[in-house]
Amino acid sequence: MTLRITPSILNADLANLSGEIARIPSADGVHIDVMDNRFVPNLTLGLPVVECIRASTTAFLDIHLMIAEVDRWAPGYADAGCESVTFHVEASAAPIKLARELRSLGARASMALKPATPIEPYADLLGELDMVLLMTVEPGFGGQKFLDLVLPKIRRTRALIARTGGDIWLQVDGGVSVETIERCAEAGADTFVAGSAVYSAENPDAMVVALREQAIAACAH
């Protein structure tokens, strides 16, 4: 299994995003949280800023849309050249149609679930997806404490993915750190969003490397 670290820039210096992205050359991608103060009670950057980021870096852009009317807005991020676009199933009126549209625009289609949203009702959708994102905190704010209660859902999702036989990434987002990443990897996650842990470190890139090594070690046990 290939393991990926995709740091979130939510906790980076938002006045110098290109510089902050340049501080994590070992990362497998850059996780960008888009919030609209409707789906979640917080407001962050949107498509114009993402387009500027796209123009300034060749890094793999992993967009996480925590927004209402996601069916309307998500395709714009794929059209802007972002490699992966994640929509929340709780905000989508037609998730299969949206996933197919994202793929048709050249992006990886990813579906996110809040901690309390079960994976089982969406088992038949997995073949339409390139990644499933399981939130390990309530979406909307960085720096929250990891919710261990999501670990069984990670295991169940990994089992459902295995049944499809497809190459579907399983991402976790929220409270991922040196204290929690091994539990996530052991449960079956292969792609890890770490925001505070990376950008609060003295050397963010060294933290990226350390997190990946911990995840690899956990999978080897």
Q: Confirm whether residue 8 is marked as ligand binding.
A: yes
Closest CA to 177 of 139, 211, 134, 212: 211
Q: How far apart are CA 11 and CA 3, in angstroms?
A: 22
CA separation, residue 191 to residues 31, 95, 187, 213 (Å): 11, 22, 12, 13
Q: Confirm whether residue 19 is marked as ligand binding.
A: no
The alpha carbon dihedral of 109, 76, 27, 187 has a sign of: negative
Check residue 158 and report its DSSP letter. Answer: H
Q: Confirm whether residue 175 is marked as ligand binding.
A: yes
Q: Confirm whether residue 195 is marked as ligand binding.
A: yes
Q: Confirm whether residue 165 is marked as ligand binding.
A: no
Catalytic annotation present for 130: no
Q: Confirm whether residue 167 is marked as ligand binding.
A: no
Q: How far apart are CA 52 and CA 54, in angstroms?
A: 5
Residue 197: helix, strand or coil by DSSP? helix
Choose the catalytic residue: 36, 130, 173, 190.
173
Q: Confirm whether residue 110 is marked as ligand binding.
A: no
Choose the catalytic residue: 33, 36, 62, 130.
33
Q: Confirm whether residue 141 is marked as ligand binding.
A: yes
Q: Confirm whether residue 190 is marked as ligand binding.
A: no
What interhelical angle do 47-56 and 70-79 show, nearest 10? 20
Catalytic annotation present for 62: no
Q: Confirm whether residue 76 is marked as ligand binding.
A: no
Q: Which residues are annotated as a binding site for a divalent metal cation?
A: 31, 33, 64, 173
Q: Which residues are annotated as a binding site for substrate?
A: 8, 64, 140-143, 173-175, 195-196
Catalytic machinery residues: 33, 173
Q: Which residues are annotated as a binding site?
A: 8, 31, 33, 64, 140-143, 173-175, 195-196
